Amino acid sequence: SQQGEEDPQALSIQEGENATMNCSYKTSINNLQWYRQNSGRGLVHLILIRSNEREKHSGRLRVTLDTSKKSSSLLITASRAADTASYFCATAVYGNNRLAFGKGNQVVVIP
């Protein structure tokens, strides 16, 4: 079953601006992961946040996790044209190596 549900579905921003996307899920999780998919390519793992973590950074990426609200956000700061892609959140539950992916957010960064 689909776990993550990103919101909004499509985002168009100017280069240099920040992009924020959200993800909600329904069950208890072990960790939540964000992936990027460029057009016509496979998914690339960006960042993993565990259920006992609240915030994590990786370069220009900042991920937050609120387990009480069952939601996560991905912030891309100082966006670049190369950040144009679809972004997916995925959840992993305890004792299960299966990742359930959300619908994905299309982000377009305009140079």
Partner 1 sequence: DTAVSQTPKYLVTQMGNDKSIKCEQNLGHDTMYWYKQDSKKFLKIMFSYNNKELIINETVPNRFSPKSPDKAHLNLHINSLELGDSAVYFCASSLTGNYGYTFGSGTRLTVV
Q: Give the footprint of partner 1 on this chain (CB under 8 A).
A: 2, 30-31, 33, 35, 37, 40-45, 48, 86, 88, 92, 97-101, 103-104
Closer of 76 and 85 to partner 1 (Cβ):
85
Measured from the CB of residue 4, what is the shortest distance to partner 1 in angstroms?
A: 10
Contact 81, 15 (CB under 8 A): yes
Measured from the CB of residue 91, what is the shortest distance to partner 1 in angstroms?
A: 10
Closer of 15 and 22 to partner 1 (Cβ):
22
Q: Where are the beta strands (DSSP E) in the chain?
A: 5-7, 10-14, 19-24, 31-37, 43-50, 55-58, 61-66, 71-76, 85-92, 99-101, 105-110
Measured from the CB of residue 14, what is the shortest distance to partner 1 in angstroms?
A: 24
Does the CA dihedral 93-71-54-108 come out positive or negative? positive
